[in-house]
A and B are shown apart, each in its own frame.
Chain A
Amino acid sequence: MQQRVTVSERGVVKQSLDWVTKRFGRKPSDLLFRGLTLLLVLVVIATVIGVAVVLVVYSWPTIRDFGWSFLVNQAFDPVHNIYGVLPAIFGTLVTSAFAMIFAIPIGVGASIFVVDFCPRPLRISLAFFTDLLAAIPSVIIGLFGFLLLAPWLQHTGEPWLQQHLGFIPLFQGQIQGVGLLAAGMVLTIMVLPLVIATSREVMLTVPTSQREAMLALGATRWEVIRYAVLPFSRIGILGGIILALGRALGETLAVTMVIGNQATKPSWSLFQTGYTLSSVIANQFGEATPGHFLSAVIEAGLLVFIITLITNLLARGLIISLERQETRGVRVV
């Protein structure tokens, strides 16, 4: 007791710091650092959960009052208080499917060329160029689509398609320039560099010994790719494709600029104008008045969020199961 009183102010601090060290097994500064790190991580977690919660809470009025009919209603009509996003879901799926149908074969083929067929000096500049284009802001692609592609489609592209392939339902209907076709093409241009860049990266990691082994067995260059390169890199290519799909499903600006933003009844025609879920948000938030209108816009956002989340989770599951399969295969061999 006597001793305690004589201990100086500094001594008390040191003593309590020592006590902390002994009690928790770490220096106080370390504890502080760990605490800070954990705090910031919790902020990140709270942000992600916060985004989901905010979207659900603010779209609750329409979820409650319209339920599933929000997904199948064709009108987005604030005047009559009827809200539905069927045309937008249709537009989102059609434009993304269009982009993937063209971007996957062209992108993977181009990356096979870049990795295996083209001369080495050309490869480096091609790689740099495609990487650069993967980073081009969507507003610039949108500008290209709006000022060049859509007018071209209106005057040359779509009339030509209708004249020569008009018997296919896809190319029937009124020619407007802007519409699903223009949006799909813009999305193709956007995701193409992404597919090329990711597939190229993965194919470059295939060991040279694998290729050489195939060549030594007398394989042609295509057989080397078919049996040594593609099976080795399919998981990575798939990952890149799903990344591209997620980007296409959620892309807002470039699509908004060329899709026409008019809800039309879903039909076979690629020439019709349309909506995507994100372009509904970009177009309507300005007028949205509190109540059903506001919450309908936010529910469109919630749908985009859910769709991309499911895409990403599916991708993760698929990749994990493929990886498991592969390790199992190796063990058997």
Chain B
Amino acid sequence: MSITASTRIPTEANRFQPPPSARGMGRQVSNVLVIVLCTLFALFAVGVLIYLVVYILSNGFPYLNLDLFTKLPTPNGEPGGGMGEAVQGTMIMVGLAALIGVPLGMFTAIYLSEFGHGWLANGVRTLVDLLTGVPTIIFGLFAWVLIVIPQGGFSGLSGGVALGIIVIPIVARTTEDVLHLVPRELREASLALGATESRTILRVVVPAASSGIITGIVLSLARVAGETAPLLMTAFGTTFWNTDIRYPMDALPLRIFNFTLSPYQAQINQAYAGSIILILLILITSFAVRWFTGGFKRKF
């Protein structure tokens, strides 16, 4: 049973290739099928998402101008005007949210990573996880019941509180993750030099993790800047300049929501333009964050 040269040499393909069989063919076919299917799914998903972005950009771009930031909405949908009060309100309420949510989130993370052990730490970790999954409108409802109803009116303060609660778990989780990455030796070195525990945490551990912590804070603030549902029943919205947090305040997503449902084409156009501002805000923060932390290199 010798194989002659003539049968072996002409193909010169892989000599270790098994002979073709029905099962082998089936495997190849299912392989090709799956590759095609996955490619189609990816094309579909990316296609839909690109279409969405292009749709918003192409409809809003002609109406993107400086007035959007500096002027108030015009009454009854007359052309012109802007959504300056919404930009201002978003800044104020996101600032409030940062004031409330960042310290709470950061110290929760410090507790979990530096002090926490046992049932209390596990409980807190579970609570923070659960908090991330709660729909944001629930926090709006919470602030509505606790602040708006007793006060008898909508207010920027209640909006800031609702957004602040949303910030807590995001900051806590990202901060805890990066604090765990700080090497143990750094803490031990600091303690060995005679620094107290609080000094070690505040001057050594937190600064070492600062880029990660800042990333978490920036991402959480970008996220609440786009929240609408909790603001519906707290900040409510207004069409006038307002810096007093005791009164109704406008926000960019809230203005987009109202203009989208508006019967006037001029306002719908401004809703598109406002959406571009929000998308740009997210684009800029994610680029900044990636550039800041070198995420492109580390992640891939």
Contacts and interface: CB of A to CB of B under 8 A. Distances in A.
A-B complex is real: yes
Interface of A: 26-27, 29-30, 32-34, 36-38, 40-41, 43-45, 47-48, 50-51, 54-55, 58, 105-107, 109-110, 112-114, 117-118, 123-124, 126-133, 135-144, 146-148, 189, 192-193, 196, 218, 220-223, 225, 243, 246-247, 249-253, 257, 278, 281-282, 285-286, 298, 301, 304-305, 308-309, 311-313, 316
A43 B107 CA distance: 11
Given A58-B145, A140-B279, A135 B223 contact: yes
A132 B261 contact: no
B145 A118 contact: no
Given A47-B168, A55-B138, A33 B103 contact: no
A143 B271 contact: yes
Given A138-B229, A192-B49, A222-B30, A252 B42 contact: no
A125 to B, nearest CB: 10
Nearest to B131: A48
B168 A44 contact: yes
Interface in B194-212: 196-199, 201-202
A223 B49 contact: no
A312 B129 contact: yes
Contacts of A282: 137, 229, 232-233
B119 interface: no
B136 A43 contact: no
Instruction: Give chain A's interface secondary structure class.
Output: helix
B142 interface: yes
Nearest to B146: A54
Contact of B41 (A106, A141, A252): A106
Given A110-B42, A282-B233, 18 more contacts: A27-B196, A30-B196, A34-B115, A34-B198, A44-B128, A45-B124, A48-B130, A109-B41, A113-B39, A126-B46, A131-B286, A143-B260, A250-B138, A285-B144, A298-B145, A312-B129, A312-B130, A316-B126
Interface string B43-62: 01110111011011000000
B70 interface: no
Interface in B283-300: 283, 286, 290, 296, 300
Given A142-B257, A282-B232, A148 B137 contact: no
A104 to B, nearest CB: 11
Nearest to B107: A40
Contact of B56 (A38, A127, A143, A304): A143
B136 A26 contact: no
A110 B136 CA distance: 28
B138 A109 contact: no
B175 interface: no
B189 interface: no
Contacts of A193: 49
How would you classify the secondary structure of chain B's contact residues: helix, strand, loop or mixed? helix
Contacts of B196: 27, 29-30
Nearest to A250: B135
Interface string B196-240: 111101100000000000000001001100111100110000000
A233 to B, nearest CB: 15
B28 interface: yes
Contacts of B124: 41, 44-45
Contacts of B222: 135
Contacts of B30: 220, 222
- Chain B contact patch, size range: 35 or more
Contacts, number: 244
Given A43-B104, A117-B39, A147-B260, A32 B198 contact: yes
Interface string B112-149: 00010000000110111111011111110110111000
Contact of A138 (B197, B201, B228): B228
B108 interface: yes
Contact of B134 (A113, A196, A285, A309): A309
A325 B146 CA distance: 45
B39 A33 contact: no
A143 B275 contact: yes
A142 B103 CA distance: 32
B283 A132 contact: yes
Contact of B256 (A127, A139, A247, A311): A139
Nearest to A47: B165
Interface string B23-46: 000011011001101111110111
B47 to A, nearest CB: 11
A44 B123 CA distance: 12
Contacts of A249: 135
A330 to B, nearest CB: 24
Given A34-B115, A140-B56, A193-B49, A114 B42 contact: yes
21 contacts: A27-B196, A29-B198, A33-B202, A43-B104, A44-B128, A48-B131, A51-B139, A54-B145, A110-B38, A110-B45, A133-B53, A135-B223, A140-B275, A143-B271, A192-B45, A221-B35, A250-B136, A253-B229, A282-B137, A312-B130, A316-B129
A118 B42 CA distance: 10
Nearest to A28: B196
B247 interface: no
A44 B127 contact: yes
B45 A250 contact: no
Nearest to A290: B149
A257 B37 CA distance: 33
B260 A110 contact: no
A301 B198 CA distance: 41
A137 B130 contact: no
A47 B143 CA distance: 11
A75 B219 CA distance: 41
